[in-house]
Structure 1
Amino acid sequence: MTWLTHWGVYKPVHSPSHPPGTSPRESLLWAPAHNPGRDVVVPVPEGGGFGHDKSPLHPLSRNPPVRNTTFFHAGRVCGVGLPNTSQPWPFNCPPRGRRYSGAVRQRVHAYHHNRTGYAVLPHVKNFSQMLMRSKFCLATQGGGHGNRQVIAAVSGCIPVVIGDHVYQPFEPELDWNDFSVRVLEEQIPILHEILAAVDEETYRRKQAALRCGAQHVLFSSMRGSLIGESGHYDAFETTLEILRAHIDHPGVPPQDLQKVDEKFKRFMACGADEVGQEPPPREPGTPAVCSKSAFDGPSSCRHCVYKSLLGGAHTMCCNSLDLAACPRLWS
């Protein structure tokens, strides 16, 4: 059986703040919940908040904000209450808040909240603007699986992935190293050194690859496009393509599927020969999915139908309330 879940924990994750001598059972944060090569980690649907309707990744975006903040994270640190900036980790959070996020947010805040060029805050009013004015954004779990990597990617901010033994959406079939920075939890104290070592050429290359990576983690074909994408490589289609590759290549490690399947490799590169390259232009007149971007003109779909869901979310389908009947406009 194959499971599609948001939670990509593939090895036991233990709390780093438990005292020496604590039994593995007592220190266990998260038990394995993902079987690589059989299960698929799917992204949390993102519907266009956080200023994504004006994403600088859109081809029609002009004069995007200057990214003058090196690193950004705003949100809960301890899970409950505010961090105590006068105390080192793990004492910067109350005992019941030390397990939150696998203790990643607590450590990042303790080591970097007052570093020049870094904005690590429990709360900020201009959240969407900060996403678009920052070079790197923390992408980590919260109480469980997170969506920070999706939020950062669509904003054009390079995700900084911290979370040992936790796969990101579509990982390892999708190589997040192409458009993110992976930091081990033990490296959190030297996070600033790792980011400073990313030279301009590497950053430019990751930025170029980010637009394709962002397409894979958006459910564009059923919730509307945000960055001028066709929906051909969206999260729904990526799920189907990964399942197809698993079936066609049984026994091949998931991280090696692109090596043995040229069609799969091109799909994961959004139609290009390599990730980060410009894909072939769409044929003139090719229709696009319904758009929620401020940069797009009238949609080529004559009637974009909204359907409200629980929690204020919605779907956005061309000419139909039924997602199963939603046309795959690129085929």
Structure 2
Amino acid sequence: MQLLRRKSSLSGSQRGGDAAKAAITRESTDVISSSSSSDDAGGNASSDGSPLPPSRCPGQCTQYGTCYEELGRCDCPLGRTGPDCSTLVPEPDLTRLCAAHGHTNVTCGRELEPAMCLNACNFRGRCVGGVCHCTPGFFGADCSLSLAAAPPPPGGGGAAAAAAAGGGSRLRLELLAGQNYTTRPSGPRIYVYELPPELNTYHNLDRLDRPLMYLIWQRLLSAGLRVADPAAADFFLVPIRVRMAYDSDRVVQVVSYIRSAWPHWNATGGGGRHVFVHTGDWGRDELSEDAQLLTRNATWLTHWGLARDHEFAGWKASHRPGRDVVLPLMLAASVISAYHLPRASPLHPAGPRPGRPTTLFFAGRICGSRARPATNGTFPNCPDVLGSEDAYSAATRQRAFFHHHGRPNWKVVTTSRTFAQDMATAKFCLAPSGGGQGKRSILAALMGCVPVPVTDGLMQPFEPELRWERFAVGVRERDLPVMHELLERLAPDQLAGFQGELPCAAQHLFWSSLYGSVWGEDGAYDAFETLVQVLRMRANYPNVAPEEYEFVDAAFAAFMACREPPPPAAAAAAGQRSLAASAAAGGGGAASLRPPPQRRRPAATAAAATALRAVAAASPPPPPAAAAAPAAPARQPLCSHSALPTPGAASCSRCVRRRGRLLNPGGTICCNTRDLAKCPRLWD
């Protein structure tokens, strides 16, 4: 059994007319036709300096495009086509193609700054229209792959082995050659399919409203979770954008391509252990019947957690607990700023602690048609303009407004000019669904307000792995008329208990390592790491129900409580008990327990602070020691957006490569770190 430790130190840190069309064509010719260059590696040498073997791609592929050597596939930038990318797409096809992918003549086929491409092409290629044109010898969507020159180490670790398409020979691939890239021992190990760029990176990524899939894709590499060897993988990420119903065709197309190019889909029972990300409002329910059937064995990461049919609203079950995972929405920078979180976060150690005289707060749309709700005591209080009013929030907003608008010490309104202040001074915040999952349950936690979800059968982010009943008060739809009685019945110590759990819960619900710190958190328990832990448990205990995870894995229980994992001896004993419990539950007995390592407490985690104080009180007093100068604050591995003093944290404004929707290559945890293998590893 392998037990891990917290690292004691961190590694380094659209114009119209013929003229515009001609400009696009000239730019495509000027940019795409030239060979790529990089200051990280020579164009004619492998990672160890030896001459490159002949490319498996035809003609002049590496001059005009990138050769994906594993399959001998020439990947062309937008604006080029042909077996070796030597053919320019003619007009007017080029203009139509660029527009279809969200580009104008400003970005289509032009060389852009590196950070506008996935992981800045790892500085081993140029960013051309958002697609990496890699230096010869490197390939992949972010130029992170190359052919391994040395033989694999004993046991098959390290470099990757992948079957060559249509042949019996095997090519070994490696990630971030020359950077001493290592995988996280605790896993999970994730293989990422390298697809033709027209399937995932042709689109102008800076115009995506929800770029979460691409941000996760970047972060897998910097976190040491990505492997190049599919035989070593716990999961297989299918990196495609799925946002709307029409993206179903892309899902079907990509699965067909994967099945023809690699054996892993069929080898895992038809997509088992394959992971897709859906960032739409209704999750899997937005997929066509063909796409749902084709991916029935895959895991979907979505924002919509409806686990059973909702007859009143007419919604069909979409989420499958134990297979799929509900992800929290990633809050846009504009939302974070609108709620004054960088300047006045109630969770920040130096933030304000206002009183909370309001019992419950909600402000927002009530009627699906955006009509003003009636306040004359009649119900329905919304006109059924669209013929589907009940489908909007399952009418929970309408009923909550009907029963509680105007109640003393309650603020249930359609709009508020002091939204952030209202949320920061309320004990409870209503968190209904709307035209989708919504973000109020997340915002409430970040504002120190106890969330009140009210949609039957709708699982919240990371539920049931994250125990929402510990920091939120769920109200059944039938109890909405008496919600005031239920909330006011809670004793002060019960309310304090919910509020005391919010600092930890907020960390699990916010993508800190992608965005940066807001209230002093260091990202160790953020939404990305929480997803990683859930997938680790899926891999180690495939037949254990997710609500039981904390009972079979002590390290998972500690992580979800934002606490240090148990000491090595206790973890080893817990591991043996966990394996026995897994076997008894039909889990097959995981090969090893992979708990997170020892790590320091984030500054804003109240639950962890309480636990550490209890340990200190039970420990023998230390021997007398000479007085010493106060220790300097531990260096914070994650930069901060906060205007409040955050000791040890640099400002995220200094991240020189932070650009657009992709934010920082590798996630903001990698601020100003050029080699992603050297990004801070919060867990090792």
TM-score range, shorter chain: 0.7 to 0.9
* 1:158 and 2:450 correspond: yes
| Percent of paired sites with the same residue | 39
Query: How big is each residue's C-alpha offset from its partner over 1:172-224, in whole Å with a ceiling of 9 and x where there is no partner?
Result: 00000111101001000010011101111111111111000000000001111
2:460 and 2:433 map into 1 onto residues whose CA distance is 10
2:392 and 2:356 map into 1 onto residues whose CA distance is 29
User: Does the 8 Å contact 1:108/1:189 carry over to 2?
Assistant: yes
Quote the residue 1:191 is aligned against.
Answer: 483
* 1:138 and 2:435 correspond: no
* 1:104 and 2:396 correspond: yes
* 1:7 and 2:359 correspond: no
Query: How big is each residue's C-alpha offset from its partner over 1:74-127, in whole Å with a ceiling of 9 and x where there is no partner?
Result: 0000122110111433x1001133321111100100000011011000000010
* 1:299 and 2:649 correspond: yes
SS in 1 for 2:658: strand
Quote the residue 1:267 is aligned against.
Answer: 559
User: CA 1:184–1:104 in 2, change beyond 3 Å: closer, same or farther?
Assistant: same
Structure 1 position 323, deviation (Å): 11
Q: Aligned-pair RMSD on alpha carbons?
A: 2.5
User: Does the 8 Å contact 1:287/1:301 carry over to 2?
Assistant: no
Q: Which amino acid aligns with 2:319?
A: H
Give the total of aligned pairs: 312
User: CA 1:319–1:276 in 2, change beyond 3 Å: closer, same or farther?
Assistant: closer
Residue 364 of structure 2, aligned match among 59, 63, 75: 75
1:277 and 1:329 map into 2 onto residues whose CA distance is 20
Q: Which amino acid aligns with 2:299?
A: T
2:678 and 2:511 map into 1 onto residues whose CA distance is 13
Unpaired runs of at least 5, structure 2? 1-297, 567-605, 614-631
1:141 and 1:329 map into 2 onto residues whose CA distance is 36
Quote the residue 2:440 is aligned against.
Answer: 148
1:326 and 1:217 map into 2 onto residues whose CA distance is 26
Structure 1 position 322, deviation (Å): 8.7
Residue 407 of structure 2, aligned match among 115, 130, 142: 115
SS in 1 for 2:393: helix
Quote the residue 2:661 is aligned against.
Answer: 309
Quote the residue 1:250 is aligned against.
Answer: 542
User: CA 1:272–1:113 in 2, change beyond 3 Å: closer, same or farther?
Assistant: farther
User: CA 1:286–1:219 in 2, change beyond 3 Å: closer, same or farther?
Assistant: same
Structure 1 position 284, deviation (Å): 5.1
2:526 and 2:483 map into 1 onto residues whose CA distance is 31
User: CA 1:136–1:324 in 2, change beyond 3 Å: closer, same or farther?
Assistant: farther
2:482 and 2:661 map into 1 onto residues whose CA distance is 43
Residue 636 of structure 2, aligned match among 279, 287, 291: 287
Structure 1 position 272, deviation (Å): 5.2
Quote the residue 2:682 is aligned against.
Answer: 330
1:182 and 1:328 map into 2 onto residues whose CA distance is 37
1:156 and 1:7 map into 2 onto residues whose CA distance is 23
* 1:92 and 2:381 correspond: yes
Residue 58 of structure 1, aligned match among 341, 348, 354: 348
Structure 1 position 290, deviation (Å): 1.5
Q: Which amino acid aligns with 1:234?
A: D
Quote the residue 1:24 is aligned against.
Answer: none
SS in 2 for 1:129: helix
TM-score under structure 2 normalisation?
0.43
Query: How big is each residue's C-alpha offset from its partner over 1:249-271, in whole Å with a ceiling of 9 and x where there is no partner?
Result: 12111111101110100000011
* 1:38 and 2:323 correspond: yes
Q: Which amino acid aligns with 2:417?
A: K
Q: Which amino acid aligns with 2:679?
A: P
TM-score under structure 1 normalisation?
0.87
Structure 1 position 324, deviation (Å): 6.5
Structure 1 position 301, deviation (Å): 6.8
Structure 1 position 277, deviation (Å): 4.8
2:506 and 2:529 map into 1 onto residues whose CA distance is 13
SS in 2 for 1:114: coil
User: Does the 8 Å contact 2:559/2:565 carry over to 1?
Assistant: no
> Which protein has greater RCO, CA pairs closer than 8 Å, 6+ apart?
1
User: CA 1:328–1:163 in 2, change beyond 3 Å: closer, same or farther?
Assistant: farther
SS in 2 for 1:71: strand
2:565 and 2:487 map into 1 onto residues whose CA distance is 28
SS in 1 for 2:452: strand
Quote the residue 1:20 is aligned against.
Answer: none
Unpaired runs of at least 5, structure 1? 16-26
User: CA 1:123–1:321 in 2, change beyond 3 Å: closer, same or farther?
Assistant: farther
1:251 and 1:212 map into 2 onto residues whose CA distance is 28
1:144 and 1:76 map into 2 onto residues whose CA distance is 13
Please say which structure displays the higher CA radius of gyration: 2
1:321 and 1:277 map into 2 onto residues whose CA distance is 29
User: Does the 8 Å contact 1:233/1:267 carry over to 2?
Assistant: yes
1:326 and 1:208 map into 2 onto residues whose CA distance is 35
User: Does the 8 Å contact 1:134/1:157 carry over to 2?
Assistant: yes
User: Does the 8 Å contact 1:68/1:133 carry over to 2?
Assistant: yes
2:355 and 2:523 map into 1 onto residues whose CA distance is 28
SS in 2 for 1:14: coil
2:362 and 2:675 map into 1 onto residues whose CA distance is 35
SS in 1 for 2:659: strand
User: CA 1:219–1:117 in 2, change beyond 3 Å: closer, same or farther?
Assistant: same
